[in-house]
């Protein structure tokens, strides 16, 4: 399996899945600590209407319109949630519930209304992506990794998620201190002059960007799972935020790789003939990891 | 007083511009409202440099709100605050704030040393590495509050008093000129209370200004130089001798304190 | 055409769907209110997503037993069991680990849903000839709804509604003050579990028609909408039922008028439209009313503070205060107080002095605790008390500044 076939068929989806998982897990650490874990849930539901609107406006399925549409929808959702929460004096959970279900319904309705049969755009795809189809046709083996011609035909999703991952890492690294301080003690951070509101918004935008980039390749289920499960499991492993981040990255990688392998080969080992959904399997594995840490991790209970 | 023009507690007589320029913290006409219910109304406060001032008043009087508004943590409906005569935004480095202990999640995955180092965050900026001298400084501040031995402890494992000391150490690390503390003695053990007051008095000896929200009337005279009595409105402001009087306490607490209690407090002071 | 639909003149099937959706809406709206009042709305999101693996497993089991995998009661039983498992996972994670409920909800909903997708892909490959069509549970479908389906909705909805109404007292009590409820002999954990059981029942009943993603909307949106109109918990429940039923009925009717109008999304969007209208125009809590009130309040505060400053001969620092004083004609552009301003300032100052006197009086001091700076003294003191205070402070004084 470690030959030309692997490089062409498995390497790109493995990398895409892993990068997507890490890009979501990183901001997820802060979302979980800030009791905003479900922002990830809300964002991933509103990506669908964003993409549909972008398609209706531009008339095609392009990378940029899609990314912009989804990011715009995420921003609108976050703004709406804040607005409903503040103006309507409604708790955050209910405000999220109102916003994302309504926007999701709008997306489904638009999708049904418009003629999208010619393009690859449907609800199933939005929910669980199609990781398995992201193959690298030109690859002839490991040496293709050094061949510019072959590299040019890498799935565009890989480039996209790589760039996003780099941006997410840069964001977290650059704003590490203010993020940490304002997550722990918002009042102190504000007194120090940290623009806590803007920082919180920037975190959500970063999470949304990760969600949007990951979404196209792997669907929204992985996105929610990766926002929450690796960071939550990591929290139970350690009492230090720095260590928690590394654990979350490790768990994200493990979920992506193990999930992909189990989805592709698991059924064969069990005597089946077809693979199962890789996205679903990755989410399932992340849940297994969380279950294991919840049962056995050293710091599973509050001290 | 009754025969003259109706007078209210004002700082009349003091040259306003002068006190504003000198005072470490000057609040003018500050009103903060949650919904349509003012938490504090038209508050004027002028902190005396190099002195310790207690903000006292009954529960729900707006003591914490006043501090938060002064720091720009909550947005006032009207009014403004200056720090050493200038708007707050340019003076952040000169202020240290110790929030209420209960306002943060102590289950946060971090250590005592990390919290103390947060006091250096303005100096460290976004990316400057933490050097040995930073750690030494943070450790020295922890030592001042008797927490140096706990530097590597997870903050969730600390007792309430220890948590409060760590908060104070973080503020000490900031090396500020004005210290604003929100209920530093709430729910702490006697040893911690003593340790904190020793440090605060050291700060005063170094010429720094301390303003603390305080709830224990019995220790006001012992700990503080000045008091600021508040019950949504300003009731009185001045030295302990002149402002911490039975009449003012009665006015601030509206009969919630028994007269005997007040006498005891004020007499105990003399 | 819409009129026909609303009047149930669109034929047998459309009528069935409209009545079924309305009954589902009423039950979901009323039940969801208890979750909302308990500030746990999004638990319903975990419950609904957690139904998916159960649907798939039930299908597999029924096929393995040689039956038709699509038998609805079997699928619904499976979905209920796996929703229960999901709910237990959320509860266990929050109780036995340090994780907060939001993280537990998110973890459970994504993992169960992911596992459900895995099982669905297994089913797709198992028997290509027998397309299970289980995907309709994601987004719901009313196409080919049978009389028995409508009956299930109506009976199921009515049962849940009846139970919810029966249990409304303990559920409201727990939502309002769990600590008190516990001491008053209402078990919080048992009541919470009953609430969740009702939500689960609604989810299972509604799965077929609006799908597992949008059933959450029917549980949350009507409750939030109703909250804008009333402060009494019982009325919120009733109104939420009304809004939910309305959304279900009108949504289903609209969707019957054209083929490309899927029922689930339309119902949700009608519910959302009701929400937006309520958010904007509800008296009291609505944004417009509250915004206008707040702006008026802000002006009153500034004006009052400005008048106090004028009365005390202090400069007016705030730009907004000055502008208001100018506009009211209390101050001239050259910063000289007008005659009218003098009179008003004297009145404000007198009220301030009155409050001070009240605070200093032994007998009236407790009343002064109601003063927040903007409180009208005549609303707190009786006329006699006010007269007594005025006697003590003397008549109004002219502001001389």
| CB-based contact, B152 to chain C, within 8 Å | no
Of A183, A190, A235, the CB nearest to B73: A190
pLDDT at B3 over 50: no
Strand order in the sheet with B78-83: B37-46, B26-34, B78-83, B86-87
pLDDT at B182 over 70: yes
| The CATH number of the domain covering residues in B16-269 | 3.40.50.300
Rounded distance between C-alpha atoms, residue C10 and residue C263, angstroms: 15
Residues ≥6 apart with Cβ < 8 Å to B14: B46
Locate the chain C residue with the closest alpha carbon to B233: C373
Let me know: does B199 contact B145? Beta carbons within 8 Å: yes
Chain A from 79 to 98: CB within 8 A of any B CB: none
Residue A206 vs residues A182, B72, B216, C13, C156: alpha-carbon distances, Å: 16, 26, 46, 47, 43
Contact criterion met (CB < 8 Å) for B109 and A235: yes
| CB-based contact, C283 to chain A, within 8 Å | no
10-residue mean pLDDT profile of chain C (401 residues): values are: 72 82 92 93 93 93 84 89 95 94 95 92 69 75 73 84 89 87 86 91 87 90 95 93 95 85 91 96 89 91 90 83 90 86 89 87 82 85 86 68 46
Q: pLDDT digit string (tens) for B218-241?
A: 999 999 999 999 999 999 999 999
Q: pLDDT digit string (tens) for A137-192?
A: 777 777 777 778 777 778 888 888 999 999 999 999 999 999 999 999 999 999 99
Interface test with C, best of B12, B28, B36 (most C CBs within 10 A): B36
Residues ≥6 apart with Cβ < 8 Å to A131: A13, A16, A17, A217, A218, A260, A278, A279, A282
Q: Where are the domains of chain C?
A: 2-260, 289-393
- Which residue(s) pair with B181 in the sheet? B98, B212
Could you count the other beta carbons within 10 Å of the beta carbon of residue A298? 10
Q: Which pLDDT score, from 0 to 100, does residue B230 have?
A: 95
Closest CA to A184 of B74, B114, B179: B114
pLDDT at B270 over 50: no
CA dihedral A81, A86, A90, A92 (to 10 degrees): 50
Rounded distance between C-alpha atoms, residue A78 and residue A95, angstroms: 10
Let me know: does A52 contact A253? Beta carbons within 8 Å: no
Let me know: does B32 contact B77? Beta carbons within 8 Å: yes
Rounded distance between C-alpha atoms, residue B29 and residue C373, angstroms: 12
Strand order in the sheet with B233-239: B95-98, B178-182, B209-213, B52-56, B226-231, B233-239
Rounded distance between C-alpha atoms, residue B44 and residue B29, angstroms: 5
Q: How far is CA A148 from the centre of its chain?
A: 29
Half-sphere exposure of B32 (CA within 13 A, CB side): 27
* Structure ipTM over 0.90, yes or no: yes
Res. B44 pLDDT band, cuts 50 70 90: very high
Residue A50 vs residues A93, A118, A260: alpha-carbon distances, Å: 22, 19, 28
Contact criterion met (CB < 8 Å) for A124 and C122: no
Interface test with A, best of B83, B109, B110, B153 (most A CBs within 10 A): B109
Res. A118 pLDDT band, cuts 50 70 90: low
Q: Which pLDDT score, from 0 to 100, does residue A208 have?
A: 87
Rounded distance between C-alpha atoms, residue C27 and residue B193, angstroms: 56
Res. A56 pLDDT band, cuts 50 70 90: confident
Q: pLDDT digit string (tens) for B186-199?
A: 989 999 999 999 99
Contact criterion met (CB < 8 Å) for C373 and B107: no
Q: Reduced to 3 DSSP states, what percent helix, strand and coil does chain A have, rounded to the nearest 5?
A: 80, 0, 20
Q: Which residues of C touch B258 (CB under 8 A)?
A: none
The minimum CA-CA distance between C72 and chain A, rounded to whole Å, is 22
| CB-based contact, C114 to chain A, within 8 Å | yes
Q: pLDDT digit string (tens) for B128-151?
A: 899 999 999 999 999 999 999 999
Closest CA to B183 of B106, B265, B99: B99
CATH 3.40.30.10 fits A4-296, yes or no: no
pLDDT, averaged across chain B:
87
Chain A from 23 to 42: CB within 8 A of any B CB: 33
Of C111, C219, C224, the CB nearest to A90: C224
pTM to 2 decimal places: 0.90
**Partner chains of A (3+ C-beta pairs under 8 Å):** B, C
Rounded distance between C-alpha atoms, residue A129 and residue A221, angstroms: 9
The minimum CA-CA distance between B262 and chain A, rounded to whole Å, is 34
Q: Reduced to 3 DSSP states, what percent helix, strand and coil does chain C have, rounded to the nearest 5?
A: 75, 0, 25
Of C356, C372, C392, the CB nearest to B37: C372
Closest CA to C55 of C129, C115, C125, C144: C115
Could you count the other beta carbons within 10 Å of the beta carbon of residue A303? 13
Q: Which residues of A touch B121 (CB under 8 A)?
A: 177-178, 181, 192
- For B119, phi then psi, to 5°, come to -65, -20
Number of B:C CB contacts under 8 A? 102
Res. A285 pLDDT band, cuts 50 70 90: very high
The minimum CA-CA distance between C349 and chain B, rounded to whole Å, is 8
> Which pairs count as long-range contacts for C279-288, CB under 8 Å and 24+ apart, including other chains?
C279/A84, C279/A87, C279/A88, C279/C228, C282/C228, C282/C229, C284/C228, C284/C229, C284/C231, C285/A88, C285/A89, C285/C227, C285/C228, C285/C229, C286/C228, C287/A87, C287/A88
Question: Phi-psi category of B50—alpha, beta or left, where left has phi over 0 and alpha has psi -120 to 50?
Answer: left
Q: Which pLDDT score, from 0 to 100, does residue B190 have?
A: 93
Contact criterion met (CB < 8 Å) for B103 and A238: no
Chain A from 178 to 197: CB within 8 A of any B CB: 178, 180-181, 183-185, 187-188, 190-193
Across A118-122, A266-270, C56-60, the highest mean pLDDT is recorded for C56-60
Contact criterion met (CB < 8 Å) for A192 and B121: yes
Closest CA to C98 of B69, A294, A83: A294
The CA radius of gyration of chain A, in Å to the nearest whole number, is 20
Query: What would the 3-class secondary structure string for chain B be?
Result: CCCCCCCCCCCCCCCHHHHHHHCCCEEEEEEEEECCEEEEEEEEEECCCCCEEEEECCCCCCHHHHHHHHCCCCCCCEEEEEECCEEHHHCHHHEEEECCHHHCCCCCCCEHHHHHHHCCHHHHCCCCCCCHHHHHHHHHHHHHCCCHHHCCCEHHHCCHHHHHHHHHHHHHHCCCCEEEEECCCCCCCHHHHHHHHHHHHHHHHCCCEEEEECCCHHHHHHHCCEEEEEECEEEEEEEHHHHCCHHHHHHHHCCCCCHHHHHHHHHHHC
Could you count the other beta carbons within 10 Å of the beta carbon of residue A228? 33
Let me know: does A121 contact A111? Beta carbons within 8 Å: yes
| Apex A44 CA angle, A42 and A49, nearest 5 | 95
Res. B7 pLDDT band, cuts 50 70 90: very low
Contact criterion met (CB < 8 Å) for C114 and A124: no
The minimum CA-CA distance between A303 and chain B, rounded to whole Å, is 6
Q: Which pLDDT score, from 0 to 100, does residue A117 have?
A: 57
Tokens 């407790």 belong to residue: C366
| CB-based contact, B256 to chain C, within 8 Å | yes
Could you count the other beta carbons within 10 Å of the beta carbon of residue B123? 13
Of A37, A102, A113, the CB nearest to C268: A102
Both tokens assigned to C31: 């039940």
Q: Where are the domains of chain A?
A: 4-296
Closest CA to C24 of C138, C146, C149: C149
Let me know: does A243 contact B114? Beta carbons within 8 Å: no
- For B29, phi then psi, to 5°, come to 55, 40
Locate the chain A residue with the closest alpha carbon to B115: A181
Q: pLDDT digit string (tens) for A14-42?
A: 999 999 999 999 999 999 999 999 998 89
**Partner chains of B (3+ C-beta pairs under 8 Å):** A, C
Q: pLDDT digit string (tens) for A81-95?
A: 988 988 888 899 999
Locate the chain C residue with the closest alpha carbon to B35: C294
C2-260 to CATH, choices 1.20.1560.10, 1.10.3470.10, 3.30.300.30, 1.20.210.10: 1.10.3470.10
Q: Which pLDDT score, from 0 to 100, does residue B52 have?
A: 96
Q: At what angle do helices B160-173 and B132-144 cross, to 10 degrees?
A: 130
Q: Which residues of A touch C102 (CB under 8 A)?
A: 35-38, 93
Rounded distance between C-alpha atoms, residue B122 and residue B112, angstroms: 18
Q: pLDDT digit string (tens) for B154-172?
A: 999 999 999 999 999 999 9
Contact criterion met (CB < 8 Å) for C392 and B28: no
Contact criterion met (CB < 8 Å) for A93 and C39: yes
Contact criterion met (CB < 8 Å) for C103 and A267: no
Q: Which residues of B touch A88 (CB under 8 A)?
A: none
């Amino acid at each position: 399996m470690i030959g030309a076939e692997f490089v062409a068929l498995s390497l790109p989806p493995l990398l895409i899945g892993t990068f997507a998982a890490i890009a979501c897990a990183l901001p997820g650490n802060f979302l979980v600590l800030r009791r905003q874990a479900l922002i990830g849930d809300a964002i991933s539901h509103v990506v669908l209407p964003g993409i549909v609107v972008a398609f209706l406006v531009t008339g095609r399925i392009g990378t940029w319109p899609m990314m912009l549409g989804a990011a715009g929808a995420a921003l609108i959702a976050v703004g709406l949630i804040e607005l409903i929460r503040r103006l309507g004096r409604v708790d955050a959970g209910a405000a999220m519930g109102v916003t994302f279900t309504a926007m999701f319904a709008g997306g489904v309705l638009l999708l049904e209304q418009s003629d999208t049969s010619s393009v690859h755009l449907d609800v199933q795809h939005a929910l669980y992506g199609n990781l398995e189809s992201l193959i690298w046709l030109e690859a002839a083996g490991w040496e293709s990794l050094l061949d510019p011609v072959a590299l040019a035909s890498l799935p565009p999703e890989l480039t996209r998620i790589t760039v996003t991952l780099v941006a997410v890492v840069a964001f977290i690294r650059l704003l590490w201190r203010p993020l940490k301080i304002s997550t722990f003690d918002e009042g102190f951070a504000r007194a120090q002059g940290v623009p806590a509101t803007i920082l919180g918004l920037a975190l959500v935008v970063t999470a949304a960007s990760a969600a949007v980039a990951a979404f196209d390749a792997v669907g929204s289920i992985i996105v929610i799972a990766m926002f929450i499960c690796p960071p939550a499991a990591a929290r139970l492993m350690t009492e230090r935020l720095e260590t928690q981040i590394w654990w979350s990255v490790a768990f994200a990688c493990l979920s992506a790789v193990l999930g992909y392998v189990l989805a592709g080969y698991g059924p064969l080992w069990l005597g089946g003939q077809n693979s199962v959904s890789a996205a679903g399997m990755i989410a399932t594995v992340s849940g297994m990891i969380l279950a294991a840490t919840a049962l056995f991790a050293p710091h599973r209970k509050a001290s | 007083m009754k025969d003259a023009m109706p007078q209210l507690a004002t700082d009349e007589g003091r040259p306003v511009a002068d006190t504003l320029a000198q005072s470490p913290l000057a609040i003018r006409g500050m009103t903060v409202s949650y919904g349509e219910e003012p938490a504090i109304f038209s508050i004027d406060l002028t902190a005396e440099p190099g002195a310790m001032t207690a903000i006292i008043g009954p529960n729900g009087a707006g003591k914490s709100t006043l501090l938060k508004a002064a720091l720009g943590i909550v947005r006032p409906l009207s009014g403004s605050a200056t720090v050493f005569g200038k708007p707050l935004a340019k003076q952040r480095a000169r202020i240290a704030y110790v929030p209420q202990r209960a306002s943060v999640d102590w289950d946060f995955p971090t250590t005592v040393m990390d919290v103390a180092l947060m006091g250096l965050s303005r100096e460290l900026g976004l990316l400057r590495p933490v050097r040995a001298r930073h750690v030494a400084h943070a450790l020295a501040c922890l030592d001042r509050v008797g927490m140096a031995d706990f530097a590597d402890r997870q903050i969730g494992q600390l007792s309430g008093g220890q948590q409060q000391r760590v908060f104070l150490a973080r503020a000490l690390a900031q090396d500020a000129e004005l210290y604003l503390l929100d209920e530093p003695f709430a729910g702490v053990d006697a040893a911690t209370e003593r340790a904190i007051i020793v440090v605060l008095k050291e700060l005063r000896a170094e010429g720094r200004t301390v303003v603390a929200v305080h709830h224990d009337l019995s220790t006001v005279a012992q700990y503080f130089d000045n008091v600021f009595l508040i019950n949504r409105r300003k009731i009185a402001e001045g030295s302990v001798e002149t402002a911490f009087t039975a009449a003012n306490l009665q006015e601030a607490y509206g009969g919630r304190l028994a007269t005997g209690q007040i006498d005891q407090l004020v007499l105990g002071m003399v | 055409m819409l009129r026909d639909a609303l009047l149930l003149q669109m034929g047998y099937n459309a009528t069935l769907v409209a009545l079924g959706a309305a009954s589902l809406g009423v039950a979901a709206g009323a039940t969801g209110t208890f979750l909302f009042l308990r500030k746990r709305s999004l638990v319903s999101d975990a419950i609904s997503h957690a139904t998916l693996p159960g649907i798939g497993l039930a299908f597999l089991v029924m096929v393995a037993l040689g039956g038709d995998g699509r038998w609805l009661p079997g699928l619904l039983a499976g979905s209920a069991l796996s929703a229960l498992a999901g709910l237990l996972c959320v509860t266990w994670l929050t109780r036995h680990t340090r994780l907060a409920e939001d993280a537990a909800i998110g973890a459970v909903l994504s993992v169960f849903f992911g596992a459900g997708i895995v099982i669905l892909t297994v089913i797709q490959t198992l028997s290509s000839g027998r397309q299970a069509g289980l995907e309709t549970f994601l987004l719901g479908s009313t196409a080919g709804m049978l009389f028995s389906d409508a009956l299930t909705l109506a009976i199921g909805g009515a049962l849940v509604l009846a139970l919810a109404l029966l249990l409304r007292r303990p559920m409201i009590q727990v939502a309002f003050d769990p600590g008190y409820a516990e001491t008053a002999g209402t078990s919080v954990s048992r009541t919470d579990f009953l609430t969740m059981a009702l939500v689960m029942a609604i989810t299972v009943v509604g799965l077929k028609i609006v799908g597992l993603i949008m059933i959450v909307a029917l549980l949350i949106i009507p409750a939030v909408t109703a909250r804008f109109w009333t402060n009494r918990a019982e009325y919120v429940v009733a109104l939420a039922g009304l809004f939910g039923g309305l959304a279900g009925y009108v949504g289903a009717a609209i969707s019957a008028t054209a083929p490309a109008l899927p029922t689930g999304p339309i119902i949700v969007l009608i519910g959302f439209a009701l929400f937006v209208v309520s958010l904007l125009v509800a008296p009291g809590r609505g944004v417009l009313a509250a915004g206008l009130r707040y702006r008026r309040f802000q002006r009153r505060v500034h004006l009052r503070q400005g008048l106090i400053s004028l009365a005390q001969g202090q400069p007016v620092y705030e730009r907004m205060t000055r502008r208001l004083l100018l506009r009211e004609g209390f101050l001239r552009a050259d910063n000289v107080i007008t005659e009218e301003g003098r009179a008003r300032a004297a009145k404000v100052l007198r009220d301030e002095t009155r409050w001070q006197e009240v605070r200093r009086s032994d007998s009236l001091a407790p009343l002064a605790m109601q003063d927040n700076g903007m409180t009208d003294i005549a609303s707190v003191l009786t006329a006699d008390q006010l007269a007594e205070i005025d006697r003590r402070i003397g008549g109004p004084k002219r502001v001389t500044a």
